[in-house]
Amino acid sequence: MPRKVTVLLGSPRRSGNSETLAVSFAEGAAKSGYKAQMIRVNGLKIGGCIDCRRCWTNGSHCFLNDDMKEVYASIDKSSVITFVTPLYFYSWPTQIKPVWDRLLPYFSPNSKVDLSGHRAVLIATAGDDDDKCFDGLRKSFELACNYAKWKIAGELLVPGVHEAKAVSSKEEILKQAFEMGENLKPR
């Protein structure tokens, strides 16, 4: 059975820059024996964490009953989690931030699923030419991975792509995304 990687797509723009890189990443991952489950979070109903401290008290991850169930079901069966996102105001877009917050049940003392030792990947795109624009996002990702005890298996941060198809002509970048997937290699 192929190993699984959950690929969370944070952009509201279908087939835009970040999603294009996600496709290359998934193709590379497939070459390494990983099956990518792409989840486009835009359009899913995922509320923000309400800090009710009722994780797992109704038998499942979260007390809130919404589309986050789909994300939990995928992550539970994955050994790699990939966050794919455009940069919005130097940070995570509204679409994907609640997903991060709703991962809290995995880190609660009564968690029924242990994700420590899993691997995480960040793929992000931005319009600015200066890659310093990613400083905040990168720091957020790295601190969160450290908290979660996840190993970072790759970061691909691509500046200078504003229009939806801008990344499509950047073959070297697409190759890097492919190789990042390929390098996952089952352990």
Ligand X SMILES: Cc1cc2nc3c(=O)[nH]c(=O)nc-3n(C[C@H](O)[C@H](O)[C@H](O)COP(=O)(O)O)c2cc1C
132 binds ligand X per the rule CB under 6 A: no
**Cα→Cα distances 73→24, 49, 62, 88, 119, Å:** 24, 18, 12, 27, 17
Torsion sign, CA atoms 126, 143, 28, 6:
negative
Q: Rounded CA gap, 62 and 17, in Å?
A: 32
Q: Rounded CA gap, 60 and 82, in Å?
A: 23
136 binds ligand X per the rule CB under 6 A: no
90 binds ligand X per the rule CB under 6 A: yes
* The only residue of 76, 164, 168, 170 in contact with ligand X, by rule CB under 6 A: 164
- Which one, 46 or 161, has the nearer CB to ligand X? 161
13 binds ligand X per the rule CB under 6 A: yes
* The only residue of 6, 7, 19, 122 in contact with ligand X, by rule CB under 6 A: 19
18 binds ligand X per the rule CB under 6 A: yes
Strand stretches in the chain, DSSP E: 3-9, 34-40, 80-86, 119-125, 151-158
81 binds ligand X per the rule CB under 6 A: no
125 binds ligand X per the rule CB under 6 A: yes
The binding site for ligand X (CB under 6 A) comprises 11, 13, 16-19, 86-90, 125-128, 133, 161-162, 164
